[in-house]
Structure formats: structure tokens, C-alpha cells
């Protein structure tokens, strides 16, 4: 029976890709390469090809737009996944790549859900999440002892983010790039600026780790530790 695999390749460092992910990518018949537009490159594929030999596999480049108001589940049901289901019907095994871990804000998990609902067998291959890799680089724990940890998308409104900032000991703010113009003043207002570390373009040549500053990038994470960073 054919299987659809959602495969996390880690946060950018090829050395962080798991042995299991490598094995699956070297075994499947086709690999889904997610891109935001036709002429775009896939960072996930660039990482994976440095670790796994995928020359044998058919490459399926599928466009997954990054639009804030896009209803992804309806979009995925519009026929965009036909190249995948057609090959699954032929008995082929397929893997779809995703940055970080499949369980965290991943298009691959949306796809897996739709594929599963259509009766196909699916499996998830976990990867190292961006915030786990980030905290390791900064040598910071995400939570200790009885502390709690909240993972939140900064795509939410300022009001929603401010409400949740008051409810957790440690907060990971994902997708924070566009929100920085209002996030930074908010952190200062709440006396959290000095308790926040920013990660931008993790494991890329222009990687930045330090105090929050305004940078235009999709790959921005803030780690807020109310008990202090160090």
C-alpha cells in the first residue's frame, strides 16, 4: 500500500536532519518540493539534498502560496494535490518536505490531513524544530522546573499577543518579522525587552541572534523568558 510521508528536515543545518528522514527520502518514489511561487527555490529541498541521495526520485514542485488570509484547507481541496494522489493511486510512495518539524505551523501537516481524509495511508517523520535549534545555539532552556511554555504566532493581533504574554513563564513567538514594529515597543512597555532574545534567519549566512531589532524576514523567532535569559 502506498504511503504519503510528511518529512521534517530541521531548521536549516543539514547536520540536524535525522537519519530516519534521510532513509525515507532515499526510499520513496517521488518527493514533493513546496514552493511559494513557480520560480522560487525550496529551502527544505536545498537542505535535504545535502544529506540524502534523491536522484532516483521524481520531483513534484507544488505551489503553496504564503498569504495571510488564505484558507489553506479549501485551497488544498481545489485540486492542487492531484499530482500527489494520482501517484499514490499508482502505488508509489511519496514524501513531502518541510522546514523544522511537521507538527509546528507546517504546510506538510495540512497536506497530510487532507490526504489522510481521502483514505490514503500517511506517516509523519519528525524534525528538529526551529525554536529547539535556536535555544540550543543560545544555550538557553525553553522551560525549567514548574515553568510553562507557550508557542504563539505573531501573526495574531497585538491585543491577542499582549494577552498571552501575561499568561506564560516562557513564550516562543513565531513568524515575528512583520510584527516587530509593534512587538518591540510592546516588549519594552511590559518590561520584557531585556528578557527577550531574537533569532533571525537561523542557520543561514546572515543569521542574527541577539536583542530584538527590526529586520525584514519571514524567519524570525523571539524567545521571551520572564525569569531572565541568563
Predicted local confidence at residue 217, as pLDDT: 82
For the CA atoms of the chain, what is the radius of gyration?
19
What pTM value is reported for the model?
Answer: 0.92
Which among 207, 205, 195, 215 is positioned nearest to 140, based on CA atoms?
195
The model's pLDDT over 100-119, given as tens digits with 9 standing for 90+, comes to 999 999 999 999 999 999 99
CB neighbours of residue 61 within 10 Å? 15
178-226: per-residue pLDDT in tens? 999 999 999 999 999 999 999 999 998 899 999 999 987 888 999 999 9
Domains and CATH numbers, the chain: 3-125 (3.40.1010.10), 130-225 (3.30.950.10)
Q: What is the rounded CA–CA span in Å between residue 178 and residue 147?
A: 28
pLDDT score for 40:
82
3-state secondary structure of 155: coil
Please tell me whether residue 137 adopts helix, strand or coil conformation.
Answer: helix
What are 222's strand-pairing partners? 173, 198
**3-state class (DSSP) for residue 179:** helix
Residues of the chain with pLDDT under 70: 68
The answer to whether residues 91 and 2 touch, using CB atoms and an 8 Å cutoff, is yes
What are the Cα distances from residue 85, in Å, to 3, 39, 46, 82, 151? 10, 24, 24, 5, 33
Of 154, 141, 133, 143, the residue nearest 209 (C-alpha)? 133
pLDDT at 156: 87
Q: What is the mean pLDDT of the chain?
A: 93
- Decide: 172 and 222 in contact? Cβ < 8 Å: yes
The whole-angstrom separation of Cα 10 and Cα 92 is 25
Strand 30-35 and strand 58-63: pairing? parallel
The predicted pLDDT at position 230 comes to: 79
User: Residue 126: what pLDDT?
Assistant: 97
The pLDDT value recorded for residue 161 is: 94
Helices (H), the chain: 19-25, 43-48, 72-75, 82-89, 107-117, 130-138, 158-165, 180-189
Other C-beta atoms closer than 10 Å to the C-beta of 167 total: 10
- Residue 36, pLDDT score: 86
Other beta carbons within 10 angstroms of residue 105's beta carbon come to 18
Amino acid at each position: 500500500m502506498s504511503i504519503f510521508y510528511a518529512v521534517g528536515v530541521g531548521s536549516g543545518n543539514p547536520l540536524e536532519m535525522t537519519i530516519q528522514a534521510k532513509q525515507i527520502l532515499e526510499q520513496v518514489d517521488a518527493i514533493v518540493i513546496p514552493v511559494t511561487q513557480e520560480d522560487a527555490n525550496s529551502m527544505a529541498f536545498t537542505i535535504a539534498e545535502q544529506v540524502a541521495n534523491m536522484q532516483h526520485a521524481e520531483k513534484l514542485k507544488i505551489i503553496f502560496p504564503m498569504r495571510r488570509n488564505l484558507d489553506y484547507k479549501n485551497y488544498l481541496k481545489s485540486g492542487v494535490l492531484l499530482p500527489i494522489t494520482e501517484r499514490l493511486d499508482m502505488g508509489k510512495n511519496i514524501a513531502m518536505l518541510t522546514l523544522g518539524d511537521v507538527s509546528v505551523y507546517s504546510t506538510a501537516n495540512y497536506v497530510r490531513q487532507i490526504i489522510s481524509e481521502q483514505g490514503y495511508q500517511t506517516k509523519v517523520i519528525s524534525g528538529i524544530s526551529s525554536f529547539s535549534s535556536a535555544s540550543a545555539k543560545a544555550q538557553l532552556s525553553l522551560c525549567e522546573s514548574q515553568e510553562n511554555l507557550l508557542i504563539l504566532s505573531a501573526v495574531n493581533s497585538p491585543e491577542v499577543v499582549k494577552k498571552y504574554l501575561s499568561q506564560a513563564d516562557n513564550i516562543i513567538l513565531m513568524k515575528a518579522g512583520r510584527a516587530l514594529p509593534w512587538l518591540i515597543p510592546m516588549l519594552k512597555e511590559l518590561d520584557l525587552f531585556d528578557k527577550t532574545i531574537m533569532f533571525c534567519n537561523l542557520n543561514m549566512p546572515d543569521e542574527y541572534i541577539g536583542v530584538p531589532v527590526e529586520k525584514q524576514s519571514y524567519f524570525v523567532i523571539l524567545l521571551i523568558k520572564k525569569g531572565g535569559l541568563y
